[in-house]
Structure 1
Amino acid sequence: MTMADDDKNPAREVITDYAQAHFRYFRTADGTVYAQKNGHPVARPIRSQGTTGSHRQELMVGLYRDGVGVFNGTALKEALDLIEALALTEDVQPVHIRVAPGFDGATWLDLGRSDGQSVRIHPTGWDIAVPDPREVCWRRTQLTGELPLPAKNTDGKGIDALLRLCNFATAETECLAIAWLIGCLGPSVPVPAPFLTGPQGAGKSTGGRMLVRVVEGMSGDLRRAPKDEENLIAAVAAGWVTALDNLSHMTPDLSDAMCCIVTGAENVKRALFTDGDVFRARYRRPLLLTGIDVGVIRPDLAERLLPLRLERPRTRRTEAELWAEYEEALPVILGSLLDLTVKVRAAQADIPTDLRMADFAHLCAQLDAATGLGALAAYRASLDDLNDDVIEGDLLAQTVLKHASGLEVGAEQRMASAEWLHCLTSLYSGEECRPLPKGWPTTGKVLSDRLKRLQPTLAARGVLIDWGRTNAARYIEMTRPPATPPPHEQQPTF
């Protein structure tokens, strides 16, 4: 320290007094203490040593520029230890990356700007403002890119520009992509993961980047799928939209991790350098995937996917030309998306109760009510196609459907799991005793677990599987219920 130490006012107290006068300190539910510069919405963990700028660094710079002094590491450490202890008694407040709920039904979008300007989306419109630090605390990482200031009064031109730049194969695909982007601006609505597919040269990676950069800015990009769940969760926690490029195979562990990312989960690990403390990480993020074919899709992931098919463009353009046009159009694209988001959130529509991702299905229904697009019907059709993909890749599902086709409508059949295994195995092998495929259930318990995964897929094809117990033993029940009329679709209003 360049100034003389004073027993009545030691360095740590000088630093503590300065810090509490210029920063607001609070804790999150997991006990992490954050610092917020007065009047600015960006919060930094006081223990962070990250390259994006730690609180220790900004505190040192403030002390120096305001002429208080230059202090050694011991004094700073003691001051920050005291500040952290004091902050643990403060009220709990969450921090958010990119999207956050606000007061009075509003939603905030972080533009990633150094001046803290953000977009407030409220029931009557949207505007640009610096949020009150007690309403929204932004957490930024190296993955938090800067967005341009969105344009006002775009008259929907930005949506047209985005769709013109992407190579979506059908109008149904286009409206599902728009519904997903609107869902990305909601902090509490789980959205299915778009899976961009199409022939080689259809621009899947380019289309994925364009969708991601509407929300993440020009620095947003696709990345290869991590080799393990821990690295995937680390990447997910550091950003808002996670985009994985060129998937060609999906392991069961990766499939399960993706399910958790889409609908939300919590990861608990031992805190570093401790014996008993744990670190809790809650996450639910929008996810985007690209690839030509990922092989067999597990039923639980299929319910959380949103297939978007692209086609090869008739005219090729250079990357430089394409991205220059996109960057120039991005303020208008973002402005049009915000305008449409306000309209969709104000629209009244029934909540479909027969779909797993009910919040997203409701959003599609609201989009239909606001614009006349057939988003909900397109979403149902996409799920139907995914069910076909699941069945085509699962010989057990095909065998169950073959057995169920012999049941009368309304009939129920109950057997123990071992009996079902014998029945289905005999049906698959047939009179010619075909060899069983790799992965075929070997015990009644394995069969029961496989049927639980296939339950929604089979239900979509009119075969209900249920489990029960009598006084004697447990059983699995198969039913073919009478056909029900399709759910009522809301008529589009123009």
Structure 2
Amino acid sequence: MSEDEKHPAREVITDYAQQHFRYFRTTEGTVYAQHNGHPVARPIRSQGTTGSHRQELMVGLYNDGHGVFNGTALKEALDLIEALALSRDVQPTHIRVAPGLDGATWLDLGRDDGQSVRIHPTGWDITVPDPREVSWRRTQLTGELPLPAKDTNGKGIDLLLRLCNFAGAESECLAIAWLIGCLEPSVPVPAPFLTGPQGAGKSTGGRMLVRIIEGMTGDLRRAPKDEENLITAVAAGWVTALDNLSHLTPDLSDAMCCIVTGGENVKRALFTDGDVVRARYRRPLLLTGIDVGVIRPDLAERLLPLRLVRPRVRRTEAELWAEYEEILPVVLGSLLDLTVKVRASEADIPTDLRMADFAHLCAQLDTATGLGALAAYRASLDDLNDDVIEGDLLAQTVLKHAAGLDAGAEVRMASAEWLHCLTGLYSGEDYRPLPKGWPTTGKVLSDRLKRLQPTLAARGVLIDWGRTRTARYIEMTRPPAQPPDQDQQETAF
């Protein structure tokens, strides 16, 4: 177009855009566009490979006979639209799952027609959500799910478990509980850690669980080498699955804790001096591996070990995945049926577990099905506590010292005195050398004990901190043994 036509072209584009698209902004200030009546939203500044708003605007103008416009006219029009949208409604965007009205939640099927699953207190149905209720954001990681089957009578769950190599009923019911938790946007769920011997099908089992939520294009990936790349990958999808882990660095362990229970990443916006970009995230996480070495206590409380065994009969990949793809609509339909049933069940909230929301979900699952998921969850946490203790010589030394105390005894000492006491207990009479990473100061010891506090409490050793008028102290208590709770006795296997 000529220079004289730039202003009219900008007006044509702006008028067309406001007639055919709805514009809104998020709390972070990003402006999104939705085609009228369609729930999928695209950021107007994105040049993404999943289709940008600029591209759909150009195609719409061309198809409706308005012609082809140059980049300058489009830029000026989008600049004006963005400025106008900053004073309009604020609405969040969601990936894969979203809260709805009247206690409902939504599951994005990733379809071009926008059809989604609405899970409500009385059932579930397939429909196109009102864009003002739900705005879907899609990326290259958003795969398409099949239309879930109705009236499955729960057979999809049995079909899924038949393909997986879980070692027992405990791992099976915890896997089901995790899948139900993935459909609830407001409930943080622990990260399943699929473990087992070589050849147990850990990666295959992980893919099967992920693809129920993410579709057949969902897959496992290697853990990124730095936290920024991990957070970028997490923010672009719903379920993040990391395969074949053999070692967890402290930074990766901390990042996983934030992913499971929620966090925020802030970085400088491109081509700016002072502006920042905020990325909030809390996502379901899945891990596979034979052994990751020492597990830190804070991550252990956020893990869900699922044990697998080697299958007796091997099948080809093509045969296995062809069957899986065929049964996926039935599996998804059965999972949705069970989700509705579980949400309608009433159960007490366990108040002694870190992931109380997931523990409550397990209790609801037990009420609905009688599977014993809560007892299995408690047993899995006990196993993880054992793993933490076996990998931490300081924890072992503290428990050894506590074993020499009388029930109900309390011991108070300064952190430096505790360091001297525990170091002497570890070294013994033969003065064996201290291991790498052993605390070197009272402050380091105090910090390590704070991290180990929940693990030690689960083994009957309470650690607390206080101060007198002159100094601070660390108190170790070995409370009297309590009789097992009656409710736990009734739900135990």
Task: Report whether the alignment pairs 1:443 with 2:417.
Answer: no
The aligned counterpart of 1:489 is 488
CA distance in 2, matches of 1:440, 1:298: 15
CA distance in 2, matches of 1:242, 1:478: 39
Q: 1:303 is aligned with what amino acid?
A: E
Residues 78-106 of structure 1: CA distance to partner in whole angstroms, max 9, x if unpaired?
Answer: 00000000000012100000000000000
CA distance in 2, matches of 1:330, 1:363: 23
Deviation at 1:407, TM superposition (A): 1.2
The aligned counterpart of 1:218 is 216
The aligned counterpart of 1:414 is 412
Deviation at 1:231, TM superposition (A): 0.5
The aligned counterpart of 1:275 is 273
Deviation at 1:486, TM superposition (A): 3.2
Map of 1:156-171 to 2, 5 A cutoff? 156-171=154-169
Deviation at 1:356, TM superposition (A): 0.3
What is the SS of the residue equivalent to 2:270? Answer: coil
Q: 2:412 is aligned with what amino acid?
A: R
112, 115, 128: which is aligned to 2:113? Answer: 115
Map of 1:426-441 to 2, 5 A cutoff? 426-441=424-439
Deviation at 1:408, TM superposition (A): 1.2
Deviation at 1:5, TM superposition (A): 5.0
Task: Report whether the alignment pairs 1:250 with 2:241.
Answer: no
The aligned counterpart of 2:25 is 27
CA distance in 1, matches of 2:212, 2:457: 37
What is the SS of the residue equivalent to 2:329? Answer: helix
67, 83, 105: which is aligned to 2:81? Answer: 83
Distance 1:88 1:490, change over 3 A: farther
Distance 1:448 1:466, change over 3 A: same
Deviation at 1:139, TM superposition (A): 0.2
Task: Report whether the alignment pairs 1:61 with 2:62.
Answer: no
CA distance in 2, matches of 1:70, 1:91: 31
The aligned counterpart of 2:124 is 126
Task: Report whether the alignment pairs 1:374 with 2:372.
Answer: yes
What is the SS of the residue equivalent to 1:150? Answer: coil
What is the SS of the residue equivalent to 2:92? Answer: coil
Q: 1:117 is aligned with what amino acid?
A: Q
Distance 1:226 1:136, change over 3 A: same
Deviation at 1:213, TM superposition (A): 0.2
CA distance in 2, matches of 1:323, 1:245: 18
Return 5+ residue gaps in structure 2 as ranges.
none
What is the SS of the residue equivalent to 1:152? Answer: coil
CA distance in 2, matches of 1:245, 1:490: 37
Q: 1:312 is aligned with what amino acid?
A: R
Residues 214-240 of structure 1: CA distance to partner in whole angstroms, max 9, x if unpaired?
Answer: 000000000001000000001000000
CA distance in 1, matches of 2:87, 2:472: 52
CA distance in 2, matches of 1:470, 1:133: 60
14, 25, 50: which is aligned to 2:48? Answer: 50
The aligned counterpart of 1:331 is 329
Would you say how many aligned residue pairs link Structure 1 and Structure 2?
Answer: 490
Deviation at 1:152, TM superposition (A): 0.2
Residues 238-277 of structure 1: CA distance to partner in whole angstroms, max 9, x if unpaired?
Answer: 0000000000011000000000000000111111110001
What is the SS of the residue equivalent to 2:291? Answer: coil
What is the SS of the residue equivalent to 1:489? Answer: helix
Q: 1:44 is aligned with what amino acid?
A: R
145, 148, 159: which is aligned to 2:146? Answer: 148
338, 341, 365: which is aligned to 1:340? Answer: 338
What is the SS of the residue equivalent to 2:208? Answer: helix
Deviation at 1:63, TM superposition (A): 0.4
What is the SS of the residue equivalent to 2:488? Answer: coil
The aligned counterpart of 1:105 is 103
Task: Report whether the alignment pairs 1:363 with 2:361.
Answer: yes
Deviation at 1:491, TM superposition (A): 5.5
Query: Which of 405-414 and 310-319 deviates more?
Result: 405-414
Q: 2:217 is aligned with what amino acid?
A: S
442, 462, 468: which is aligned to 2:460? Answer: 462
CA distance in 2, matches of 1:472, 1:363: 47
CA RMSD of superposed structures (Å): 1.2
186, 189, 198: which is aligned to 1:188? Answer: 186
Q: 2:396 is aligned with what amino acid?
A: Q
What is the SS of the residue equivalent to 2:167? Answer: coil
Residues 26-47 of structure 1: CA distance to partner in whole angstroms, max 9, x if unpaired?
Answer: 0001100000000000000000
Q: 1:489 is aligned with what amino acid?
A: Q
Structure 1 length-normalised TM:
0.98
CA distance in 1, matches of 2:239, 2:483: 37
Deviation at 1:322, TM superposition (A): 0.4
CA distance in 2, matches of 1:93, 1:6: 35
Return 5+ residue gaps in structure 1 as ranges.
none
The aligned counterpart of 1:197 is 195
CA distance in 2, matches of 1:490, 1:206: 36
Deviation at 1:313, TM superposition (A): 0.5
394, 400, 404: which is aligned to 2:398? Answer: 400
Task: Report whether the alignment pairs 1:311 with 2:309.
Answer: yes
What is the SS of the residue equivalent to 2:102? Answer: helix
467, 472, 475: which is aligned to 1:474? Answer: 472
The aligned counterpart of 2:170 is 172
Q: 1:461 is aligned with what amino acid?
A: R
CA distance in 2, matches of 1:152, 1:484: 48
Deviation at 1:485, TM superposition (A): 3.1
8 Å Cα contact 1:5/1:11 also seen in 2: no
The aligned counterpart of 1:232 is 230
Residues 288-339 of structure 1: CA distance to partner in whole angstroms, max 9, x if unpaired?
Answer: 0000000000000000000000000011111100000000000000000000
CA distance in 2, matches of 1:210, 1:189: 22
Q: 2:488 is aligned with what amino acid?
A: E
CA distance in 1, matches of 2:421, 2:88: 63
Structure 2 length-normalised TM:
0.98
The aligned counterpart of 2:300 is 302
What is the SS of the residue equivalent to 1:10? Answer: helix
